[in-house]
Structure 1
């Protein structure tokens, strides 16, 4: 299985970079994982709603360019479905059995995801009802993907 995490913006905090690298390393025996960062669209701090919508649309175009054709697309969305770790594991197994070996998880920037990206997604998934920064969401997502593979293999980690 090839999993891509496509996210808007770069992670600046070293501790988050280290955590993400650790889970990427742990995932290698289970799946190929690739993290793709697309640039944030520059905008003024006091941007108007039309400028923010235009910025989201440009970020959406960059996201579309990074999604390989034929991918099963999962958009992280605060209004998405609320799953358990076990449900994610079961979904990864179902997707693989259905021949969906290219999975793209999408994380938007601070404005969220463009409506076109949400429309293109096969699934909208929420990590929590709580609010996280997008860099922390990336770390949480990768940890949950790792946990899902451990669950599927019956390996100790998930309790």
Structure 2
């Protein structure tokens, strides 16, 4: 099994790239992490609700094209389930033990995720009700994936 992180938009800030690279390096061969960046749809300043939904659907189609049959899909959503690090570790472990595909985490674009992505998801995770920049959320999620692996291996990283 591999863990994939499918994200909409390109990471720009060097300090975030460096932080993510550090956790990816630490994970090494435990459970390899692949990050897939998808181009975000350009949103016109005066986009109607209908246009925004069409853009969200196009982004959703791009996301779903990266999900394979058998993959376990966890999406980040404000209204999702609040989880502790231990609960996330348990989810990762079950996907590793019982899964038939990869474990895929998704961070959508600024418009959110399409209804089709929600319907395909196996788990909706919330990191709280606060709005965080999507780029920063990548670093937080990658750290939590690393932490989950450390918990599952009994490491002292998680105290």
Secondary structure, in 3 states, of the residue corresponding to 1:79? strand
Q: Give, in whole Å, the separation in 2 of the partners of 1:99 and 1:52.
A: 35
User: In the aligned structure 1, how far is the partner of 2:23 from the partner of 2:45?
Assistant: 33
Q: Deviations 1:1-51 (Å, cap 9, x if unpaired)?
A: 300000100011111111111111111131111000111111212211111
Scaled by the length of structure 1, what TM-score is found? 0.95
Instruction: Tell me what 2:103 maps to.
Output: 103
CA RMSD, 1 decimal? 1.1
Using the size of structure 2 for normalisation, the TM-score is: 0.95
Partner of 2:131: 131
Partner Cα separation in structure 2 for residue 59 and residue 47 of structure 1:
16
Task: Tell me the residue number matched to 2:49.
Answer: 49
**Partners of 2:8 and 2:99 in 1: how far apart?**
27
Aligned partner of 1:116 in structure 2 is 116
Gaps of 5+ in 1: none
- Equivalent residue number for residue 90 of structure 1: 90
Q: Which runs of 4+ in 1 moved over 2 A?
A: none
Cα distance in structure 2, aligned partners of 1:90 and 1:158 = 14
Secondary structure of the 1:7 match is strand
